[in-house]
């Protein structure tokens, strides 16, 4: 699958601004698309504790009926300086938006982040404060209800 990264403009936040902070407000930023899927990162929920930074990433089907809130989410843990990542939580949501599956893996192995991969874009967002241009959504429901970014 060919993915188009859409990180066009970078708005760097200082590392100190990210260290040890987390925001309760969701702020979903579309950062990539494929022929079938839209990839978003919750830039309002980046959390850093020690050397670990965590961000939630969502995959939303590009096409879907109005009111179909099916999607998946992952909590991606990153070691920014080491350029390593692991998925520590996977969630699946059904058409009504309710959680239908959960896989927790807090001891997942750390993997090196390949250049120009989806995870490398996630790393730029979580570790460097990069943001794709365009309007963010206050929730995934709001994003889907607004036409899935179209």
When pLDDT is cut at 50, 70 and 90, the band that residue 102 belongs to is: very high
pLDDT of residue 12: 32
Question: Sorting pLDDT into bands at 50, 70 and 90, what band is 134?
Answer: confident
Whether the full predicted model's pTM is greater than 0.85, yes or no, is: no
The arithmetic mean of pLDDT across residues 137-143, rounded, is 96
Q: What is the mean pLDDT of residues 106-130?
A: 96
pLDDT of residue 24: 58
Does the pLDDT at position 7 exceed 70?
A: no
What was the pLDDT predicted at 17? 32
Mean pLDDT for the stretch of residues 54-77: 96
CB 111 within 8 A of CB 83: no
pLDDT reported for residue 18: 31
Question: Mind listing the pLDDT tens digit for each residue in 31-65?
Answer: 999 999 999 999 999 999 999 999 999 999 999 89
Which positions ≥6 away from 112 have C-beta within 8 Å?
83, 84
Burial string for 98-125 (b: 16+ CB within 10 Å, else e) reads eeeeeeeeeeeeeeebeeeebbbbbbbb
């Amino acid at each position: 699958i060919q993915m188009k990264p859409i990180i066009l403009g970078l708005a760097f936040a200082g590392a100190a601004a990210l260290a040890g902070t987390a925001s309760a407000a969701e702020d979903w930023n579309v950062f990539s698309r494929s022929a079938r899927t839209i990839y978003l990162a919750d830039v309002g929920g980046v959390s850093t504790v020690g050397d670990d930074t965590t961000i939630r990433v969502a995959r939303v089907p590009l096409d879907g009926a109005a009111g179909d809130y099916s999607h998946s989410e992952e909590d991606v843990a990153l070691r920014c300086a080491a350029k390593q990542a692991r998925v520590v939580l996977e969630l699946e949501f059904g058409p009504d938006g309710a959680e239908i599956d959960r896989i927790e893996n807090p001891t997942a192995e750390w993997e090196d982040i390949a250049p120009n991969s989806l995870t490398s874009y996630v790393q730029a967002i979580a570790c460097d404060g990069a943001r794709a241009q365009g309007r963010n959504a206050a929730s995934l429901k709001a994003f889907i209800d607004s036409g899935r970014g179209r």
